[in-house]
Structure 1
């Protein structure tokens, strides 16, 4: 018996987490960006660009059908009026129960498209 394989044109991917301050208090209104790129020759094309903000409990969530043409998806914090990353504050990412330095954006591997990725952050005053 032969069966046809279904080809998926996109993957419903969720990125969610929480952002807290130095005192582990929730940070409301922190902006985040979820971006996708397709490689074209020597350049890239943006396949999607989504923005979200943390709520009063510091939680954020973005869900998106990543187009199959997306070669790379990245997620990162873009700050807000109170927290200016690189100027007044740094953004740390939770890794193995500790907060570690976070540089710009985190790549969401293609193997994780269609899954839920949890990324927790902490905002601290610039060191």
Structure 2
């Protein structure tokens, strides 16, 4: 594998890492706070015990959330990259199988890339 391909792959992985990290951190912190309050107020745990359980749960939630988010974002960015590479190579395809369910920036870019592909094909 050439150096430029390695750099591109590393840059893409870093972008996906940052996307997954942000969501995982927010989700883990929010769930740990809720768990701490539930254990402390509803079940009468000592704050130290509730904090310990919430901390362990935070790590578990972070790992699971990051893994799921990373895999989803990776697939979506791979789709976007495939469409743009096909445009560059002038290989125009129908992208009926591409679904945009999240309605965020990545979905918007995918939709715009599909529109661009159709426009350039004409």
Both structures adopt the same fold (TM-score exceeding 0.5): no
Task: Kindly indicate whether structure 1 or structure 2 has the higher relative contact order, using CA contacts under 8 Å at least 6 residues apart.
Answer: 1
- Flag the structure with higher strand content: 1
Which TM bucket (shorter chain)?
under 0.3
Whose radius of gyration is greater, 1 or 2?
2
- Flag the structure with higher helix content: 2
